[in-house]
Structure 1
Amino acid sequence: MIEKVDEQVASNFYYDEALNSQAVKLLPGEYYVTDKDMLLVTVLGSCVAACIRDSQNGIGGMNHFMLPENCSDTSVPVNSSARYGTFAMEILINQLLKLGARRSNLEAKVFGGGNVLGGLTVTNVGQRNADFALEFLAIEQIRVVAQDLADIYPRKVYFFPRSNRVLVKKLRTVHSNTVSVREQEYGKRLQQSNVGGDVELFS
């Protein structure tokens, strides 16, 4: 039996004393949306995080996702491999709309896609994740107001949906093994699993 991988709502809450804010940390395969004045935090290697918000009322959210490695296999249909990223993006947008965001007001900031996974320099999963996110947002006509993509470093991203403030720290001096191992484990789960159902975008 093939286990389904559902995008999970992040549940690792804490208080960030340095930034004086309630916060939630997102791991690979997680998302979070909020209408509160709080902080969303994640650490990215080859994964991508889309920070999407309603520019008028500040309702916003973040996801943390990657495409499975087999999306570089030309024998696999594009729509079959891209469904993982599509699902991650659609569930984030739908949850924002359910919370009260208006689709016409949505804007995005996109981060990650670093080439940090050892042995994947040829396929460069990070670049493919970044390209997918930008293409998806363009198709859905969601304006990208900022981006920090590709390169070779892991990133730590702090997103304040209410104010649209984002802080990005490139982890140039930090050993990236933890990030790489976490993302490789996530990638293996994707390879062995089905996407957790189809999601249709609200209009």
Structure 2
Amino acid sequence: MKTIIRITNLAFIGVLLLACSKEVSQGPIGAQGSQGEQGMQGENGTDGTNGEDGEQGIQGEKGENGTANVISKKFDLSGWNDPSGVVNYSVYWSELTTQAIENDAILFYIKTNHNGRFNPIPGRVIINSISADIELELFTGGCTVISLKRNYNGIGSAYIPVAAGDIDYLRIVIIESSISSKVGANYLTPINKLKAAGVDINNYLQVAEYFGLED
């Protein structure tokens, strides 16, 4: 009996060994599965520290001033009536300050009944076909037009009378000294700047056109 059981056990073990030794065949590869859903977006990271402000740049040179620094005024002289020829005529303007007189360029023009032109003064003018020298005295707050002297061969002598209407008006132009242009290492004065621009300062129409003034 024991012999039969032992033989049976040995036969069973042999079957197991035979089954394990037999090669197992691999099955076909299955289809690829569908893509999974996208995951949730992560939280934004913390902002970085702001960089330091850069150093301030060097300030540029001051630009040239415009015509706001040029002022002009006309004074009516048509009522000047001086038969003796020795009475001066004064006009007053608050813009004629001490600072303006000492630092700025001030131009004077007078218009007579001769040809309707502007004549720079001090200088020579023609009144009633008579050539005469006219002078100017400037003071803080105004100026005085000095009586006219008849001109003989370039020399002023006797005074000449002035009748109402002989002189139309006086024009004063103040050009602040801040208006200047740099040429190399030098700065042009207002008068030199006008000359450099081809403007004849003795010609009021050219000055008026350059600065956009009234005639």
TM-score normalised to structure 2 length: 0.26
More helix by percentage: 1
Higher relative contact order (CA 8 A, sep 6+): 1
Rg larger for? 2
TM-score normalised to structure 1 length: 0.27
